A and B are shown apart, each in its own frame.
Chain A
Amino acid sequence: MSKPVIKVEELSKRFIISHEGAERYKALRDVIAQKAKRMVKSPVSAPAREEFYALKDVGFEIHQGDRVGIIGRNGAGKSTLLKLLSRITEPTSGRITIRGRVASLLEVGTGFHPELSGRENIFLNGAILGMSRFEIRKKFDEIVEFAEVEKFLDTPVKRYSSGMYVRLAFAVAANLEPEILIVDEVLAVGDAQFQKKCLGKMEDVSKNQGRTVLFVSHQMDAIESLTSRCIYLKNGTVFSEGETRKTVDLYLNNYNSEDSIATYRDRFGNGKARIVKLEIKKEENTVLGVKQGEAFKILLGIEVNEPIKLDMSIAVENQRQQPLFCTQLSDLQGAIQKDKYFEVLIDVSDPKIRKGDYMISIATYKPDQTEFYDVVHHFPLLSIEGIAETSDIPVDNRLGNLYFPIKWSEIG
């Protein structure tokens, strides 16, 4: 077997978080003030500094032609890893060995200058991404065609629509010809049709041209269609690594109790029946998301300290906070009486909800609605992944959050 093109060994990156202020940069004044403070105070009460490992002892290997996805929640260390691999920052410890020319695309349109024309920006951006003038000239027509901006080539890009801007930026990057391509969440921009075009281009680069691709995304469908292997980062370490489908499943099923509804802020009410637990259940497991069409249950835990009568209702909402549907306890069994902690299970056995991230609003209240115990607004509920073959619900980018079989027939 050939040597790996990327080899990462015990890689760590540490950041020092200073608790003295939110400022990102230091001013001389602060340094002087701190020194003075230290002289006055005993050395024991040094300023509160906390070490934080964005990555800790990460190791993996990537071989020629691999298409690897990097997944994980926000703050898991994905971007830090990409920055280390593309030499933007230096690791605190560990070692990376890279064989081959790397191009990293952490943001589309890096270095675009608003005052320069489209044509000039192609050359500028190309050079920034490591292309020579000769290479850019060779690819120029292809780039322009891909971006669909022929007419506006000599207009300053500050006059471009945001769509045109992004298209041009991606087109330059897509025509890079590196041996290893590192791509951060850049496909989250542009309209659906262009996203598709970008994905197609990336697929072409990786599958047909045999290049090594490292791809970070929160869109599991993009990860599934582009990569064959995944590295799942959690809290700065490699939590799991393996075949994409399995790793993505693991990621979706991995429950993380950090985002607790008990401490969620956007709520009101007198607190007599407080919602303290929310879990999504898939069969017996607690999960973060499900695939389209899969059944799930919502488990709610409610804290009650004195005997009360209560009713409750939930609304499942899309990202724009528009409710998809509402359901309430009294629909089935009328109000209930409680005096201590209890749980309810809401069984959504046949959801016709399309892919996307969904939220929930929950309310507990006195049955006559004269008193609200606890009303939680727009808490993240689950993400539904659009993966084909799991149901008859289409995975394309059509409008609408719901789907149910509808018959079309031609008349006359």
Chain B
Amino acid sequence: MTEIDLLSSTAELIIEPGRSEKNYWKDIWRYRELFYILSWRDIKVRYKQTAIGATWGVIRPLLTMLIFTFVFGRIANLSVLNGPPYAIVVFAGLLPWQFFSTALQEASNSLIGNTNLVSKIYFPRLIIPASAIITTLVDFFISFLLLIAVFFFYRFVPPVQILLLPLFILLTLLLSFGVGLYVTALNVKYRDVRYIIPFLVQFGIYATPVGYSSEVISQKYSETARFYFSMNPAVGIIDGFRWCILGQPMYWPGFFASLTVIILFCIIGIRYFRKTEKTFADNI
């Protein structure tokens, strides 16, 4: 009797072609435990069998910052004399950019790296790239601590807007998520993606105001050029970071352009991912 009651209380699950799961998001919530544990696994395994372990998480952004400060500041002479320390300008741009690019690379390879999971058990596939992206957040926070160390080094006091920084971190996360999902799904079918991404990242660092300030665009060209420039969603984010950290004036029209593109990417990414998700096991 109780057995039957128990059964009838369990929801019926119907599997049919093309049936978009009504409780897709609920399912993801149910599998949150798996999400935690996969993220935990990725973090734990990340620096295994390296001699200096998690120190890599500090060394990588530190070296990149030093190189950038040197190349752009000294050689290309991009630094401004009476502005804030150039190292901090670079760092503020590097922080979101590094997060975005690492997340993209990690996410795009995540499904392929977990082939055995995808082809052997069911779970909402979204979990895998999502946990890959969350994992890179750890590196982000390590870099952030480094930034604070740089503050102390230059005896720099950030403006009050720094309290709004979490908002821009969230935006970076959203952007990584949107683009990441799209790229991940694409990579299952077309393995070219994993070769394209490193180029995209290398190229992107110049198309994005990491080593320079986006004000340069409006000074050299025009305000309209800067608006179009802000269609690159990373521009709005980096501008936001610099506004929060350095107090550089914010160019709001550009920010909203970036925001629109970010939201668009998110919608496209999730849509495409969900559309192709069901065939992952067949194509991987």
Contacts and interface: CB of A to CB of B under 8 A. Distances in A.
Secondary structure class of chain A's binding surface, majority of residues: loop
B150 interface: no
A96 B192 CA distance: 36
A22 interface: no
Contacts of B191: 25, 27
Interface string A120-132: 1001100111101
Nearest to B49: A115
A332 to B, nearest CB: 54
Contacts of A24: 283
B17 interface: yes
B122 A87 contact: yes
Interface string A2-44: 1101000000000100000000111111010000000000000
A250 interface: no
Contact of A127 (B37, B114, B122): B37
A210 B3 CA distance: 10
The interface centre, meaning the residue of A28, A88, A120 with most chain B CB atoms within 10 A of its CB, is A88
Nearest to B48: A115
B282 A15 contact: yes
A353 to B, nearest CB: 36
Interface residues of B, number: 42
A27 B116 contact: no
A87 B279 CA distance: 11
A106 B122 CA distance: 11
A116 interface: yes
Contact of A25 (B33, B281, B283): B283
Contacts of B48: 115
A100 B44 contact: no
Interface string B188-210: 11111000000000000000000
Interface of B: 3-4, 7-8, 10, 12-18, 33-34, 36-38, 41, 44-45, 48-49, 114, 116-123, 188-192, 278-279, 281-284
6 contacts: A90-B17, A96-B14, A104-B121, A110-B121, A113-B41, A115-B48
Given A25-B190, A29-B192, A115-B45, 12 more contacts: A28-B192, A87-B15, A88-B118, A89-B279, A90-B15, A90-B18, A98-B14, A99-B12, A99-B13, A115-B44, A116-B41, A179-B10
